[in-house]
């Protein structure tokens, strides 16, 4: 979700509020843009559905407002976050995940086991970000994006793996899948 205000003079500001209900009581997202505003861009991962927006624009210090207010929403289905490819070689399989979240990805982790949804938010399995990534199961590994903007790991045995993606706001998503390795 991006909100931008363009004006030929200083003093223009826009606030955009996104709500999950027609009564405007469940605020999901707030974006503020302008020279005195401090929150010019924001995002949130929300479920498929209908949402309601409120846009407020004001122009101070001058007589006229000459510009545009544009509100743009982007949809990325959660299933796209875990788009995986597997390349089998003798004795190993290279698992590749697309970097769907781009700069909104805080961390990508994987572990060689199935992780229940109940463990998604805890630190028993997944590491948490403090100054460094700490805690979690000793078998949990962090993944960094390669130069092609993809995350990869090598599986050396046929097993089930779970991948967890955390966005910059701390929302976590995980998926378990089976990886087969040729002998």
Residue 114 reports pLDDT greater than 70: yes
Lowest mean pLDDT among 1-5, 100-104, 110-114: 1-5
How far apart, in whole angstroms, are the C-alpha atoms of residue 33 and residue 110? 37
- Answer whether residue 143 shows pLDDT above 70: yes
- Distance, in Å, from the CA atom of 168 to the CA atom of 164, rounded to the nearest integer, reads 13
The domain ranges of the chain are 2-72, 78-179
Rg of the chain (C-alpha set): 21
**Element of type H or E holding 80:** helix 78-81
pLDDT the model gives residue 161: 96
Q: Which residues, in sequence order, are CB contacts of 140 under 8 Å at separation 6+?
A: 109, 110, 111, 125, 126, 127
pLDDT at 180 over 80: yes
The Cα 92–Cα 137 span in angstroms is 23
Mean of the pLDDT values across residues 121-130? 90
Compute φ and ψ for 62, nearest 5 degrees. Answer: -135, 165
Q: Which residue has the higher pLDDT, 169 or 72?
A: 169
Q: Which CATH architecture has domain 78-179?
A: Sandwich (2.60)
In the predicted model, is pLDDT for residue 6 greater than 60?
no
Burial-class residue 105 by CB neighbours within 10 Å (0-12, 13-18, 19+).
Answer: middle
In the predicted model, is pLDDT for residue 144 greater than 50?
Answer: yes
What's the confidence (pLDDT) of residue 3?
Answer: 43
Q: What is the pLDDT of residues 68-82, one digit of tens each?
A: 666 677 777 777 778
pLDDT value of position 138 = 95
| Tokens coding 20 | 């999950």
pLDDT of residue 53: 86
**Claim: this prediction has a pTM higher than 0.75:** no
Confidence label for 147 from pLDDT (cuts 50, 70 and 90)? confident
Strand partners, 150: 98
| pLDDT reading at 14 higher than 80 | no
């Amino acid at each position: 979700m991006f909100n931008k205000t363009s004006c030929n003079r200083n003093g223009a500001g826009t606030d955009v509020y996104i709500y999950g209900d027609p009564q405007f009581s469940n605020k999901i997202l707030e974006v503020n843009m302008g020279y005195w505003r401090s929150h010019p861009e924001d995002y949130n991962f929300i479920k498929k559905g209908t949402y309601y927006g409120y846009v407020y624009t004001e122009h101070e210090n001058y007589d006229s407002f000459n510009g545009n207010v544009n509100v743009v929403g982007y949809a990325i289905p959660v299933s796209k976050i875990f788009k995986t490819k597997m390349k089998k070689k003798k004795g190993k399989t290279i698992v590749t995940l697309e970097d769907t979240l781009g700069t909104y990805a805080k961390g990508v982790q994987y572990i060689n086991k199935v992780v229940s949804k109940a463990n998604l938010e805890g630190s028993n399995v997944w590491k948490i970000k403090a100054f460094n990534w700490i805690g979690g199961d000793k078998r949990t590994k962090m993944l960094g994006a390669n130069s092609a903007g993809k995350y990869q790991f090598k599986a050396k045995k046929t097993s089930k793996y779970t991948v967890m993606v955390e966005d910059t706001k701390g929302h976590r998503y995980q998926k378990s899948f089976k990886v087969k390795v040729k002998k």
